[in-house]
Amino acid sequence: MSKTSALDLASGLGGKIRKDQVKSAVDQYEKYHEIYGGEVESRTFNYADLANKYYDLVTSFYEYGWGESFHFGSRWHGETLRESLKRHEHFVALQLGLKEGMKVLDVGCGIGGPLREIARFSSASVTGLNNNAYQISRGQELNISVGLSETCNFVKGDFMNMPIPDATFDASYAIEATCHAPDALGVYREICRVLKPGQLFALDEWCMTDKYDPGNARHQSIKAEIELGNGLPDIRTTRQCIQALKDAGFEVVSVKDLAEDSPLPWYLPLDSSQPSLTGFRLTRVGRFITQALVKTLECLHLAPEGSLRVSNFLETAADGLVKGAKEGIFTPIFFVLARKPLDKQAHT
């Protein structure tokens, strides 16, 4: 079961970090980012530490507010947030043509929400790759709780250097995960390597759109807020991601920014001007209540020191995401379907 109570939130804060070291981890994490004097070069070089600290610090918040699937999706009128996320996961499975007997890789799988939904929907066997020990332990608990421990599993490893043999999988997908990579070409090349020739890769990527102007100070500020609040080295443009896929050895089958024609905005749960009952914890009021709860838990020493600061930079993330979306300079659901050629191995 997801950890959705206040005590669950308190007990999970910090992940695998010792509770007396959470404040120090927050200090180190913040210093990676421009808002606190950091530089993109440092985040890129230390990408694994950046992502690990981030997910140790925020996974409990994510699970408390978002559930088991840490991603966005297009949304229909009358559809709850959870229904939209499940539909998106089914969309990924259908794009890949998944079916029973196929071995599938989920690159950067979080605690395995999409992994479990896709496995149940398609009857495929899904392996989740993750470099964060706390998220893997949570994912294993959840797999057991729903009876999927035989068909779904996890591998701990860096997606820039996967501990997986060549040509292992019949399909692969990455849902809003490879944005944590220091180098798009490197991670896409590794995905291509572990796919069997002729097989498909489905990608949801966080990207700056063609409307992003790197010389615009407001655009730079919004981008920095998103990077701070989401543990990202440097958000790439849509054009850079497409080119990196091609350079990695993929054939690009189709490309679509799913945010463009979504009936309801993907950022709706985060938008303070749009109240929501189905995603209340994600609304401005819900996030305010969560911050007050975390402050109280920290004062009572039920949550480690530094927890409120984590809640604060997640608030910065929400504001940055909404601003980036409304200005049209950012999308978290830039979808690409790519194929590893039958007659080529991954580029080395």
How far is C-alpha 319 from the chain's CA centre?
17
- Residue 205 DSSP SS3: strand
What's the pLDDT at 127?
98
Where do the structural domains in the chain lie, given as residue ranges?
Answer: 21-340
Rg of the Cα atoms in the chain: 19
Average pLDDT, the chain: 91
Contacts of residue 255, Cβ cutoff 8 Å, sequence gap at least 6: 242, 334, 335, 336, 337
Write the pLDDT tens digit of every residue in 191-237.
999 999 999 999 999 999 999 999 999 999 999 999 999 999 999 99
Helices 113-122 and 81-96, packing angle to 10 deg: 60
Residues 6 or more apart in contact with residue 230 via CB below 8 angstroms: 54, 179, 206, 317
**pTM higher than 0.85, yes or no?**
yes
Six token digits for residue 258: 């799913």
Write the CB contacts of 4 (distance below 8 Å, at least 6 apart in sequence).
Answer: 63, 64, 67
pLDDT (tens digit, 9 = 90+) per residue, 298-318? 787 767 888 888 888 888 999
pLDDT tens for 26-67 read 999 999 998 889 999 999 999 999 999 999 999 988 998 889
Lowest mean pLDDT, pick from 133-147, 161-175, 261-275? 261-275
**Looking up tokens 């407001």, which residue turns up?**
218
Tokens of 44: 């890129």
Q: Could you tell me which CATH number the domain at 21-340 has?
A: 3.40.50.150
In the structure, what pLDDT confidence band is assigned to residue 292 with cuts at 50, 70 and 90?
A: confident
Using the structure block, give the residue that is written with the tokens 């709850």: 80
What's the start-to-end Cα distance of the chain, in Å?
Answer: 42
CB 83 within 8 Å of CB 117: no
Higher pLDDT pick, 14 / 253: 253
